Amino acid sequence: MNAPRLRGICPGLSVPMPTGDGLLVRLRPTAPVPLDAMAGFCEAARQHGNGTIEVSARGSLQVRGLTPRSAPPFASAVAGLGVATHEGVPVIAGFDLISQENTADVAGELRRAIANARLALSPKISIVVDGGGPLHLDALSADIRLRRAAPAQRPRFRSPRFYPPRFYLGLGGDSASATWLGSVALEDVVGAVLGILTIIAAYGPTARAAAVLRAEGVEAFRSVSAALIEPSRAPPTRRPAEMIGVHSAHEGPVAVGIGLAFGHTHADALAQVVRVAAGHWARAVWPAPDRALLLIGVSARHALDLTAAAEQLGFVVHAGDPRRRIAACPGAPTCASGLIPARALASALAPILEPAFRPVRNGVVVHISGCPKGCA
């Protein structure tokens, strides 16, 4: 195992990051995690770390409290579970029960192509691939964002092959603040993204898409735009995505979205949710943005029972839960750098501040940090 990374570089299984309560490892699953693998993950977090499991705002799994001695066996344990993860430039694909476009395939092609290109990129570079369904990724900020374009209306006698899938392509920011360059055909997505990343890399190993746009404007990306991107209007705005709740598929099972209060839970509580979910026919777990978990494959008639069980275990099951409006770092005593018990304070403040949160539909209103670093 390599030496721990410096703060500011995304940690992974091979290179954990030192934090106040030990080493932190972040995993980006590239596919739903089977329930038995998630149960094994909880056991590994408890055995090798301090038992704290987090879901980040971008939908990554994090385990805290590892040590230089326990981190290697933790990595081995996770490898043995067969959980599909990726280290390198984050390519975040949404999970969507309704969209017919398999964004996982597009994201997989992009990950392989970027790895093979070996570009000197900022560790903060990220890419979003959005299938266009209701569980969208509009709120996530990214250097490059792809959003499945709605197919153009076609005459009934024309074959779908004459209308190949296209993706809107934007740079910098979330969906509302991104600079949209146009749309790109599915077969040209990899080429367009690699071309844009090559241009960003030319500005140095810390360059980001937004900074290039501020300095040079869209002209900096003209070579890619002219070759592969078709001018188009920006994609239409959508209602904010809501991960919490019951999400219906075209037919059959549903997904139940639950949240982690202040982004964290204990391995024992999560393992219990997994056991209950298995009893309600769930087959997998998908870590989702906004510090949520989607329990996939639940029998529709059991969804409310599973929701009630998750609520009893301390998970967020209602979209209006006031805990969703507060971001809090681990704080003392969990984190050695913490000066105040940030999450304990957050728990106490949530019911008091609930009336003030009611007009706020989405987003964090209060940020509680246990030290000057401003984590969470």
Rounded Cα distance between 104 and 270, Å, is 25
The number of angstroms, rounded, from the C-alpha of 272 to the middle of its chain's C-alpha atoms is: 23
Q: What is the pLDDT averaged over residues 105-132?
A: 95
Single-letter residue type at 349: L
pLDDT above 60 (res 158): no
Say whether both 248 and 298 belong to one domain. Answer: yes
Residue 233 lies in a domain: no
**And the tokens for 372?**
């000057």
What count of other Cβ atoms lies within 10 Å of the Cβ of residue 115?
A: 13
pLDDT above 90 (res 97): no
**And the tokens for 14?**
């091979």
Residue 2 lies in a domain: no
Say whether both 291 and 224 belong to one domain. Answer: no
Q: How many domains does the chain have?
A: 3
Q: What DSSP letter does each residue of 67-100 carry, written as one string?
A: -TTTHHHHHHHHHHHT--B--SS-EEE---SS--
Q: What DSSP letter does each residue of 133-165 carry, written as one string?
A: SSS--TTS--SEEEEEPPPPP--TTS-GGGS--
Nearest-CA neighbor of 36 among 93, 96, 80, 87?
80
% the chain with pLDDT above 90: 75
Last residue of one domain, picked from the residues 163, 197, 228: 228
Residue 3 lies in a domain: no
Q: What is the pLDDT averaged over residues 204-218?
A: 97
pLDDT above 80 (res 375): no
- The parent domain of residue 142 ranges over 99-132+138-228
Say whether both 190 and 305 belong to one domain. Answer: no
Rounded to the nearest 5 degrees, what angle is found at the Cα of 171, between the Cα atoms of 145 and 126?
A: 55
Rounded Cα distance between 369 and 371, Å, is 6
Return the sign of the alpha-carbon dihedral for residues 237, 242, 248, 249.
Answer: positive
Say whether both 219 and 255 belong to one domain. Answer: no
β-pairing verdict for 17-19 and 22-27: antiparallel
Say whether both 305 and 336 belong to one domain. Answer: no
Say whether both 214 and 114 belong to one domain. Answer: yes
Say whether both 291 and 315 belong to one domain. Answer: yes
> Residue 201 maps to which CATH number?
3.30.413
pLDDT of amino acid 156: 52
pLDDT above 70 (res 230): yes
Sorting pLDDT into bands at 50, 70 and 90, what band is 250?
A: low
pLDDT of amino acid 359: 76
